[in-house]
Amino acid sequence: MRVGAVIITMGNRPDELKALLDSVARQDGEPVETVVVGQGVEVTGLPEGVRTVHLPENLGIPGGRNVGIEAFGPGGGDVDVLLFLDDDGLLERTDTAELCRQAFTEDPELGIISFRIADPDTGATQRRHVPRLRASDPMRSSRVTTFLGGANAVRTKVFQQVGALPAEFFYAHEETDLAWRALDAGWLIDYRADMVLLHPTTAPSRHAVYHRMVARNRVWLARRNLPAPLVPVYLGVWLALTLVRRPSAAALKAWFGGFKEGLTAPCGPRRPMRWRTVWRLTRLGRPPVI
């Protein structure tokens, strides 16, 4: 099973990127072919054999990763599996690629694997990095309904069947959009605690656009993927949760601005999931209203 890796970078973490590339090169088994996509920057000085793609502007996280996918042929078809890794992460073990090969080989319905993210100093995994509602035990692997964008492996047949990441999202929730489409097509998603990407503990709100894009993309996610009766339920639940969390006045203003934008701006094609997929998500522990 052929494995490739896609890493997007803005060129501002050269030391961390080199360490990540070294950890990919140390993987057991057949070498992992790696593509680094420079978002508005030309990346130089990389190890021999690492391919680079220069983008004249920052296309956002999903847009950049889509370019990386196509660097492996249409829909990534030159390889069987693609790893997507944050440029400031580090593969803890040398058998991660082999574990992916084994998992995808043993389960032909498995489409996506979400890795565990752990802080390199403390070993702790943030609750938000466990892609399920019952997130108190990050060491428990399980079937899930979404995955972590910067620490995962995707069977390239998924892209060829359901399409790429939604580039218009730019940042936030693009993984869930792909996950819902994959689940609707019959694929499975696993969270694997034994596949680890070391990554410094961070807060997503460090990004200036966080609150606006989180709200906008929540609306787009619902408009694109949910059966019509569930759209207001999903958005109502997230509105209530946002208010309960009592964000600052500035954050709330940005959130409502993004929410309005999500309702009025084009969000791409609408392909509502089947009701059987709604039930499937519910049985997996996360009905698509939260």
How would you write 196-215 as a 3-class SS string? EEECCCCCHHHCCCHHHHHH
Question: What's the confidence (pLDDT) of residue 91?
Answer: 98
The alpha carbon dihedral of 239, 241, 246, 248 has a sign of: negative
Write out the DSSP string of 94-145: S-HHHHHHHHHHH-TTEEEEEEEEE-TTT----GGGS-SS--S-TT--EE-S
| 78: region left, alpha or beta (phi > 0 left; psi from -120 to 50 alpha) | alpha
Structure tokens at 179: 């996950």
Q: Specify the long-range contacts of residues 250-254, CB closer than 8 Å, at least 24 apart.
A: 251/205, 251/211, 252/211, 254/211, 254/212, 254/215
Question: What's the confidence (pLDDT) of residue 20?
Answer: 98
Question: What's the confidence (pLDDT) of residue 203?
Answer: 75
Q: Angle CA(206)–CA(89)–CA(92) in degrees, nearest 5?
A: 140
SS3 64: helix
- pTM score > 0.85 for this model? yes
Residues 4-34: pLDDT tens digits?
999 999 999 999 999 999 999 999 999 999 9
The alpha carbon dihedral of 10, 11, 15, 18 has a sign of: positive
280, pLDDT greater than 70: yes
Question: What's the confidence (pLDDT) of residue 207?
Answer: 55
Residues 166-197: pLDDT tens digits?
999 999 999 999 999 999 999 999 999 999 99
Taking residues 214-218, report their average pLDDT: 97
- % helix, strand, coil for the chain, step of 5: 40, 20, 40
206, pLDDT greater than 60: no
Q: Which of 119, 110, 146 is nearest to 131 (CA)?
A: 146
Please count the other Cβ atoms lying within 10 Å of the Cβ belonging to residue 87. 23
Taking residues 255-276, report their average pLDDT: 97
Question: What's the confidence (pLDDT) of residue 8?
Answer: 98
Mean pLDDT of the chain: 96
Do 229 and 287 meet the contact criterion of CB atoms below 8 Å apart? no
Q: Which of 267, 259, 263 is nearest to 213 (CA)?
A: 259
Q: Tokens 């929540």 map to which residue? A: 218
Taking residues 239-264, report their average pLDDT: 94
Residues 50-92: pLDDT tens digits?
999 999 999 999 999 999 999 999 999 999 999 999 999 999 9
Taking residues 150-156, report their average pLDDT: 98
Element at 286 (helix H, strand E) = none
